Amino acid sequence: MRLFKPTYRVGSWSKVAAKGPRRTSRRWTVEFKDQHGRQRRQVAFTDKAASTELGNKIERIVVCVRTGKAMDPSLSEWADALPPALRKNLIRWGLLDARSASAAKPLSKHIEDFKQDLKARGNTAEYAETTAGRVDAIREAIGAGHLSELTPARVMEYLARRRITPEPTRAEPVAENVPKAARKRKLRVLSRATCNHYLTALKVFCRWMVREGRVGTSPVAYLRQLKGEADLKHERRALTLEELRRLLEATAKGPTRFGMSGPDRVMFYRMAAETGLRARELRSLTAESFDLNGRPPTVTVEAAYSKHRRRDVLPLRPELAVALRAYLTTKAPGAAVFALPHWLKPIKMFKPDLEAAKIAYRTGDDGPVADFHALRHTFITNLARGGVHPKTAQSLARHSSITLTMDHYTHTLVEDEATALEALPDLSAPEPERVRDTGTEGPQDRPAHLALYLARPEAERGAPVASGGTSERATGEETGAVKMGESPRGNAGFQSRREDSSWRGRRGSNPQPPDRQSGTLTN
């Protein structure tokens, strides 16, 4: 091993300054031979003692790799504490295996580092706690103390067990003033969608391990999410306009619940029903999130609180902007507009207001429910009822696909279906006979319905005859003469028609063929 400080010339990249003054680097460089005898150089530290220790540790790793012996725990622990750039170099040179280097470190420590990294990258503390907590729940359930024990088979076995066997939920860290009822751990069975959320969190964690050089490949990279129809525990419905107005009216007169007065909850519900914002997004809003003087007025949700991790700027209705302008005058700058406790689920506050407005939470035994998230369904359904283009509705709902907007969030109300039926014809009303008016008979002489016409005697159902402005019915014999005789457009008839210029065929009339002898019309 050789330890030295390299020198360089100032501006040596330029031909003009090739003979510039020579400078010495501030940091030491360790030169050593790897397991294949190749010269390697690694930039060390400014401190010579620390750089010497680094060179000695690297030589010990080279000896372990060359002889095939495993590193002792102290050397493995030292390798785990190396900076990411230095660790990646050792992995690239084949001196350090990512899995073996992190094997000595407990998996729980990796998960804790993963949680801190999520927070450092701008995610909310709630998101970091939830994601890391799901990974830690899998680790605890399968008993994986180290990374080598995290196998795909054990992960899928755990998720399959949670689909049929109730297990206690993890105790989330909550504030000291949280009621005891909120601290209880509940036994529950995970739905297919929740199992997929757990699997997604684990795959994100393993990809982070690969990116950080702590593992060579992700052990769960090939695992796929559970297929099948989503088993929704709460199928939601959209509130009608009359129900929504009753809800706001009853809430305004209601008592204070969980620190929020009636007017506060009214504005909370209006924002959800007129913007489609989710509960977590509404909790993140401050007075600075609103631009009520813009055209149009807008509300901004920061990327850390948005579900798709993008900054959203949404327009507001002018009436809602007027109400917000008066409402925000009582809010301190930087403080949350809606002071809803972070541990409280909105349904705990929403359900009593539904009861006060005499709105059923669930329609029928297994029917859809009207919870707080149903206000988002109401927002998207009202867009569809107002004739908004589906692509615009998708943009306002901030959905990734138009299918999600139209199939899951747009509901058809009963009154809309009844209105649509008005486009069908009325079969109970009599339909007038479609006989053109020839000017020879009035509407009172025509049958009012096809059934009445067919009920007449056959003689009376003959075709009308045009003669001197009077109306007669042709007899069956005359009708037969027309059928059996030559056509009016035959030779004789055609000649007679040319000779008698007074004969004119009228559209809608039924004249008899001209007499073959006299060339005149026979009535």
pLDDT in tens, 159-168: 888 887 766 5
CA distances from 271 to 140, 141, 347, 378 (A): 40, 40, 16, 12
Task: Please give the pLDDT value at position 391.
Answer: 86
Final residue belonging to a domain, choices 62, 78, 99: 99
Q: Residue 313: exposed, middle, or buried by beta-carbon count in 10 A (0-12, 13-18, 19+)? A: exposed
For residue 252, what pLDDT band results from cuts at 50, 70 and 90? very high
Return the bridge partners of 286, or none: 336
Task: Please give the pLDDT value at position 327.
Answer: 92
- Asked whether the predicted pLDDT for residue 338 surpasses 60, the reply is yes
In a domain, 270, yes or no: yes
Task: Please give the pLDDT value at position 250.
Answer: 93
* Segment 247-263 mean pLDDT: 91
Q: Enter the pTM of the model.
A: 0.53
Say whether both 87 and 123 belong to one domain.
Answer: no
- The residue among 497 and 407 whose pLDDT is bigger is 407
For residue 90, what pLDDT band results from cuts at 50, 70 and 90? confident
Write out the two tokens for 135: 């990974």
The whole-chain average pLDDT of the chain stands at 76
Q: Give buried/exposed letters for 48-74 (b at 16+ CB in 10 A, else e).
A: eeebbebbebbeebbebbeeeeebeee
Least confident of 262-276, 379-393, 468-482: 468-482
Say whether both 112 and 92 belong to one domain.
Answer: no
In a domain, 197, yes or no: yes
Say whether both 369 and 503 belong to one domain.
Answer: no
- Asked whether the predicted pLDDT for residue 62 surpasses 80, the reply is yes
The strand pair at 39-43 and 167-168 is best described as: unpaired
Say whether both 189 and 246 belong to one domain.
Answer: no
Task: Please give the pLDDT value at position 126.
Answer: 82
Write out the two tokens for 292: 């009520």
CATH of the domain at 378: 1.10.443.10
- The residue among 364 and 89 whose pLDDT is bigger is 89
Task: Please give the pLDDT value at position 248.
Answer: 93
Say whether both 169 and 65 belong to one domain.
Answer: no
Task: Please give the pLDDT value at position 288.
Answer: 92
Say whether both 298 and 359 belong to one domain.
Answer: yes
Q: How many domains, in total, are found in the chain?
A: 4
* Segment 288-299 mean pLDDT: 92
In a domain, 376, yes or no: yes
- The residue among 306 and 167 whose pLDDT is bigger is 306
Give the closest residue to 353 by CA, choosing from 249, 455, 467.
249
Final residue belonging to a domain, choices 99, 117, 133: 99
- Asked whether the predicted pLDDT for residue 502 surpasses 70, the reply is no
484: helix, strand or coil:
helix
* Segment 228-253 mean pLDDT: 81
Say whether both 94 and 112 belong to one domain.
Answer: no
Say whether both 258 and 402 belong to one domain.
Answer: yes
Task: Please give the pLDDT value at position 341.
Answer: 80
- Asked whether the predicted pLDDT for residue 172 surpasses 80, the reply is no
CA distances from 79 to 103, 117, 214, 383 (A): 11, 20, 10, 58
Say whether both 163 and 306 belong to one domain.
Answer: no
* Segment 86-105 mean pLDDT: 72
Give the closest residue to 374 by CA, choosing from 276, 500, 514.
276
Return the bridge partners of 482, or none: none
* Segment 351-357 mean pLDDT: 92
Least confident of 10-19, 42-51, 65-74, 494-503: 494-503
For residue 104, what pLDDT band results from cuts at 50, 70 and 90? low
In a domain, 235, yes or no: no
- Domain membership of residue 483 as a residue range: 445-523
In a domain, 159, yes or no: yes
- The residue among 344 and 249 whose pLDDT is bigger is 249
For residue 476, what pLDDT band results from cuts at 50, 70 and 90? very low
Task: Please give the pLDDT value at position 181.
Answer: 44
Determine contact, residues 410/316, Cβ cutoff 8 Å.
Answer: no
In a domain, 433, yes or no: no
Q: Residue 326: exposed, middle, or buried by beta-carbon count in 10 A (0-12, 13-18, 19+)? A: exposed
Say whether both 198 and 275 belong to one domain.
Answer: no
What percent of the chain is modeled with pLDDT above 70?
68
Say whether both 256 and 364 belong to one domain.
Answer: yes
CA distances from 197 to 131, 135, 150, 200 (A): 9, 10, 18, 5
Say whether both 346 and 316 belong to one domain.
Answer: yes
Max avg pLDDT among 55-64, 144-153, 334-343, 425-434: 55-64
Final residue belonging to a domain, choices 42, 64, 99: 99
Task: Please give the pLDDT value at position 74.
Answer: 81
In a domain, 439, yes or no: no
For residue 468, what pLDDT band results from cuts at 50, 70 and 90? very low
Q: Write out pLDDT tens, residues 357-369.
A: 999 988 877 788 8
In a domain, 163, yes or no: yes
| Encoded amino acid at 430, one letter | P
